C-alpha cells in the first residue's frame, strides 16, 4: 500500500540531495517519478525550474502554486506516462489543502515529501504541520549545530544580526540562515538584542 512520507530537517541537512538521490534510485529501477516543488521557492529562473542541492546535484521539476492542485498535476503527467512515485521538495511551503491532496494521492502512488519542520521563530510551517498530522512515516534528517549538538532551528540573520520577527517566508540560503541548536539560537538572539540596544 502506498504511503505518505515526510522527511524533515533544518537547512543544509541534505534534504534536497536526498530527494534527488531517491529520484535517481527509483528511475534506475525503471519507475516514473513526478518531482515537484512549490512555486514559492523562487531561486530559479521561471523558464527552468530545478531542484538543486548544495553539493551540486540538480534535476528539472514541476512547480505548483498555492492555489494549484496536486491531483490535477498528477493526472496531467500520469496521462502522458504512468507515475509510480511523487517526490515533493520544500514541502513546508505546501498549503494544508495541498497536503490533504498528497494524502489522497497515496491511493495511487507513494508520496515522499522533504522539507523544513520549523520556521525561523521555532513554529511549524503550515505544510509541515499538516504533514506531521497525516504522514504515515516521519523521519528526521539530522544535522549539526556549530557547537556540535543536533541542529533544530533555522536561525535567520539580517545585516549580521539574528532576528525573531519578519515575514514567515523569506527565501534565502547561507547568507540569510544558519541551522543551530535551540540554545545557540537563544544566545544569538540575546546577543543581537544587546547590540541593538547599545546602538
pLDDT in tens, 130-187: 999 999 999 999 999 999 999 999 999 998 899 998 888 877 666 789 999 999 999 9
Check residues 6 and 42 and name the one with the higher pLDDT: 6
- Give dist(CA 8, CA 75) in Å, integer: 27
Is 167 a domain residue? no
The answer, yes or no, to whether residue 44 has pLDDT greater than 60, is no
For the record, the C-alpha cell of 187 comes out as 544566545
Number of structural domains, the chain? 1
Is 18 a domain residue? yes
- Give dist(CA 40, CA 75) in Å, integer: 22
pLDDT in the model for residue 41: 56
Q: Which residues are the active-site residues?
A: 90
Residue 13 near residue 151 (C-beta atoms within 8 A) = yes
Is 87 a domain residue? yes
Is 156 a domain residue? no
Q: What is the DSSP letter of 3?
A: -
pLDDT in the model for residue 45: 53
CATH number of the structural domain spanning residue 26: 3.40.50.300
Is 166 a domain residue? no
Is 180 a domain residue? no
The answer, yes or no, to whether residue 194 has pLDDT greater than 90, is no
The answer, yes or no, to whether residue 196 has pLDDT greater than 90, is no
pLDDT in the model for residue 48: 58
| Alpha-carbon distances of 173 from 10, 43, 103, 119, rounded to whole Å | 12, 9, 29, 14
Using CA atoms of 44, 47, 50, 52 in order, give the dihedral in degrees to the nearest 10: -30
pTM value is 0.90
Is 196 a domain residue? no
Question: Residue 6: which of 14, 15, 57 has the closest Cα?
Answer: 15
**pLDDT tens digits for 68-127?**
999 999 999 999 999 999 999 999 999 999 999 999 999 999 999 999 999 999 999 999
pLDDT in the model for residue 199: 56
User: Mean pLDDT of all residues in the chain?
Assistant: 91
Is 70 a domain residue? yes
Amino acid at each position: 500500500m502506498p504511503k505518505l512520507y515526510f522527511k524533515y530537517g533544518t537547512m543544509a541537512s541534505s534534504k534536497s540531495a536526498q530527494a534527488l538521490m531517491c529520484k535517481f534510485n527509483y528511475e534506475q529501477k525503471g519507475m516514473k517519478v513526478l518531482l515537484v516543488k512549490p512555486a514559492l521557492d523562487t531561486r530559479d529562473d521561471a523558464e527552468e525550474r530545478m531542484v538543486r542541492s548544495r553539493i551540486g546535484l540538480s534535476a528539472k521539476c514541476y512547480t505548483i502554486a498555492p492555489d494549484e492542485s496536486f491531483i490535477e498535476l498528477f493526472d496531467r503527467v500520469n496521462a502522458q506516462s504512468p507515475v509510480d512515485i511523487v517526490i515533493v521538495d520544500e514541502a513546508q511551503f505546501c498549503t494544508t489543502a495541498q497536503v490533504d491532496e498528497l494524502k489522497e494521492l497515496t491511493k495511487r502512488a507513494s508520496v515522499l515529501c522533504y522539507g523544513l519542520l520549523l520556521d525561523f521563530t521555532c513554529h511549524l510551517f503550515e505544510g509541515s504541520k499538516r504533514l506531521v498530522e497525516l504522514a504515515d512515516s516521519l523521519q528526521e534528517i539530522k544535522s549539526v549545530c556549530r557547537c556540535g549538538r543536533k541542529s533544530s532551528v533555522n536561525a535567520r540573520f539580517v545585516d549580521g544580526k539574528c532576528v525573531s520577527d519578519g515575514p514567515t517566508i523569506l527565501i534565502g540560503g547561507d547568507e540569510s540562515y544558519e541551522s543551530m541548536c535551540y540554545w545557540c539560537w537563544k544566545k544569538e538572539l540575546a546577543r543581537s538584542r544587546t547590540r541593538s540596544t547599545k546602538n
